[in-house]
Structure 1
Amino acid sequence: MFVYILGAGAMGCVFGAKLSAAGWRVHLIDVNAKQIAAINEAGLKLSGDNGKKTYRLPASNAADAKETADLIIVFTKSLHTSDGIASMKHVIGDKTYVLTLQNGLGNAEKIAACVARDRILEGVTTVPADLVSPGVVASHGSGGVQFYTLTGETAPIVEEISAALAKAGIDAKADPAIREAIWTKVIFNATMNATCALLDTTPGPLGDREDGIALAAALIEEGASVASASGCPIDAAGVHAMAKMSMTQHRNHIPSMLQDLRAGRRTEVDDINGAIVRQARAHGVHAPMHETLWRLMRVREDL
């Protein structure tokens, strides 16, 4: 199996390293020249629970990719999905599959502009990943992957990917109810990620305050109501549990939106809180709290 990892940030590098160790041929694709150079010159260095290891994987920009892909796994930020997949059109063949494990709603639909819907898979991951420096990533703790085909029909590639991820030490679940898992993660991110980013804090201090806990709870319930209206009811209690775990067991974790704001980058808020608002409007319900967070974040990005 020959796979491109589109988006060689922290998560893409962790998956690339583990899949290469499982026997797949892996090529990392990114736009960051420093990241590409570091990986090609010194190898991809991964620090995990079992120590440190260096993986020799090719890395390049999309234009330098030549071989037709069996599989492309997309890890770019959601705001770069359309441009990213378009940049790979020259290595997408009739038998190429594309799996998105990105944050947000609507990534699979963006990919469908370049790839047939029956060749697209979508999912979520909870695998921990941190970018330490160019070419150096860390992954401590456990996590997994849930995914399935966009069409909802089974395909041999589902079992093939599941087996490879399992061999790589990543718990993988082929889940026909994948839309519920995607909505669950979107609501969690819309609640914790955006709130922490706006308050310039990690989850711990938010959970130390009654108002912080109440705010998170209200955002989760509002998001769950939108999911239900859109035809994808979720288990809100599960999202509440995820938020509590974030506030207690991951107190000092710096959410990705906060990292982006501190670095002066655009965030994924349009495809997370903004997507919830668009779904609410499309189905005749209101999401005033998420709309407020969305608009505040958009203003904050421009300041």
Structure 2
Amino acid sequence: MAVVGPGALGRVFAARLAAVVPTALVARSRERAAELGEGFELVHPSGRSERVRVPVFGPEEAPPARWAVVLVKGPDTEAAARVAGGLAREGVLSLQNGWVRERLRAAAGEGRLVDQGATTAAAMREAGRTVWVAAGETWLPPAFAALAERLTEAGLPAAATPEVAARRLEKLAVNLVVNPLTAVLDVPNGGLLEPELWPTVRDLVLEMHPVLAARGPLPDPETLLGRIRRVLAATAANTSSMRADVRAGRPTEIEEITGVLLAWGRAGGRALPRHEALYRMVRALKQVHRGEPLEE
């Protein structure tokens, strides 16, 4: 097994999988692999903490694997997919945020299964530790049934099901609201539940729903709003990944999330002014935090 991407969630998946099957964690470079080779502190959802060591490799040194799970940020998709495609004999599965299926398949190459699943597993890095927030649930395409069994055995509940198409779109819908809005407003997830902000959440859902529904199965707007409300309540104190990236001046996943929606809207002849405004603001904030001049 190979896990490509040693971020917080990648570390959790690698640590759990290593307990049931030989697993390699693949970093972007040999130097980064050496840094991670000393291990890391993993805090479980129960609060229990342990020191974990998983074999970590640079992309050139990583051993072949039956499966490769891609857990990198959206901008790194192509590079990670090329590495994963070179390692995996049977299949490459992305569990990334946003929508990267087409880019993943183009970069990973032929001769193996390549697709994107969806997961509600959550983790974050905090004060030098990797905090496993929730095991969540993971949905894989039916052809990845053997990988789903391994994930479940490792304590990461997973199912290989045709419902993965709906789960992918639903996760994208949640990300389309939570990530850019918390980044622009600089609030934790629970801040979006405030009475003054909830109408904005509703407006974003109503605007994007026809575009997403044209791409596959999706709950009706009211049901989707209810699910977003539950996600926000369950993660109220959390900082979204996009908010954290903007604050740190790192590249965001705005292209893989809102950029994809806007492209779909253009293809269908539908304007998305609220999402367009968020897209522009996130891009501007990234430049401000980096100290770069704003684009004209």
| Structure 1 CA distance for aligned equivalents of residues 111 and 195 of structure 2 | 45
- Counterpart amino acid of 2:137? G
| Structure 1 CA distance for aligned equivalents of residues 137 and 5 of structure 2 | 19
Where does the alignment leave 5 or more consecutive residues of structure 1 unmatched? 149-153
- Are residues 1:287 and 2:272 paired? yes
8 Å Cα contact 2:8-2:123 kept in structure 1: yes
2:125 is aligned to 131
1:269 is aligned to 254
- The secondary structure found in structure 2 opposite 1:102 is coil
8 Å Cα contact 1:127-1:145 kept in structure 2: yes
| Structure 1 CA distance for aligned equivalents of residues 204 and 111 of structure 2 | 32
TM-score (norm 1): 0.86
8 Å Cα contact 1:224-1:234 kept in structure 2: no
Deviations 1:81-118 (A, max 9, x none): 012222455435xx33100000111x221121232286
For residue 153 of structure 2, the aligned residue among 135, 160, 167 is: 167
Residue pairs, 1:237-276, within 5 angstroms: 237-276=222-261
TM-score (norm 2): 0.88
1:24 is aligned to 21
- Are residues 1:189 and 2:185 paired? no
| Structure 2 CA distance for aligned equivalents of residues 96 and 14 of structure 1 | 22
For residue 2 of structure 2, the aligned residue among 1, 4, 11 is: 4
| Structure 2 CA distance for aligned equivalents of residues 90 and 159 of structure 1 | 21
Where does the alignment leave 5 or more consecutive residues of structure 2 unmatched? 289-296
Q: Aligned in 2, Cα 1:201/1:101: closer, same or farther, shift over 3 Å?
A: same
1:299 is aligned to 284
For residue 116 of structure 2, the aligned residue among 106, 113, 122 is: 122
Sequence identity percentage: 27
8 Å Cα contact 1:227-1:234 kept in structure 2: no
- Counterpart amino acid of 1:44? F
1:58 is aligned to 55
8 Å Cα contact 1:183-1:234 kept in structure 2: no
- The secondary structure found in structure 2 opposite 1:265 is coil
| Structure 1 CA distance for aligned equivalents of residues 218 and 227 of structure 2 | 17
1:140 is aligned to 133
- The secondary structure found in structure 1 opposite 2:23 is strand
8 Å Cα contact 1:226-1:287 kept in structure 2: no
For residue 200 of structure 2, the aligned residue among 208, 215, 238 is: 215
| Structure 1 CA distance for aligned equivalents of residues 149 and 254 of structure 2 | 33
Q: Aligned in 2, Cα 1:117/1:63: closer, same or farther, shift over 3 Å?
A: closer
Residue 133 of structure 1: how far off its partner (Å): 5.1
| Structure 2 CA distance for aligned equivalents of residues 234 and 263 of structure 1 | 34
- Are residues 1:78 and 2:78 paired? no
- Counterpart amino acid of 1:110? R
Higher mean C-alpha deviation, range 168-177 or range 233-242 = 233-242
1:91 is aligned to 87
| Structure 2 CA distance for aligned equivalents of residues 144 and 176 of structure 1 | 15
- Are residues 1:206 and 2:204 paired? no
Q: Aligned in 2, Cα 1:171/1:231: closer, same or farther, shift over 3 Å?
A: closer
2:292 is aligned to none
